[in-house]
Amino acid sequence: MVPSVPLGACLGLSAILFAIGLVGFLGRRNIILMLVSIEIMLNAVNVSFAAFSSHLQDTRGQILALFVIAVAAAEAAVGLGLVLALSRNRPGISVADLTELKY
């Protein structure tokens, strides 16, 4: 039998991961690092889904985490495609330099 990790420890890990992702997203101006920070926040949500799923002895949280992983993969592919398209015309990929997407 696999030893169970306490729910509080999993939620603490999830909160720490989400805080790291949020600080990384708000503190960076590089688009690629912002995308990585979003992925860290989505993984924090997956940890909490899996923790509650394990705590409640239900598989719906794990299934929802798989859907979040699929959406995150699509988001990363589209986001990196946009970054590549924008970086061909510009020397940098800073958010402050991108004003053509506003209007």
Domain interval for residue 53: 31-89
- Asked whether residue 44 is assigned to any structural domain, the reply reads yes
Which token pair is 16?
A: 């720490």
Q: Per-residue confidence of the chain (103 residues) as pLDDT tens digits?
A: 567 889 999 999 999 999 999 999 999 888 889 999 999 999 999 999 999 998 998 999 999 999 999 999 999 999 889 888 888 877 777 777 776 666 6
> Buried b / exposed e across 53-91, counting CB within 10 Å, b at 16+?
bbeeeeeebeebbeeeeeebeeeeeebeeebeebeeeee
- Asked whether residue 18 is assigned to any structural domain, the reply reads no
Into how many domains does the chain fold?
1
The reported pTM is 0.84
**CA–CA distance, 82 with 76 (Å, rounded to integer):** 10
- Asked whether residue 24 is assigned to any structural domain, the reply reads no
Q: Tell me what pLDDT residue 71 has.
A: 93
- Asked whether residue 103 is assigned to any structural domain, the reply reads no
Q: Closest Cα to residue 30, out of 84, 96, 100?
A: 96
Sign of CA dihedral 24, 25, 31, 36: positive
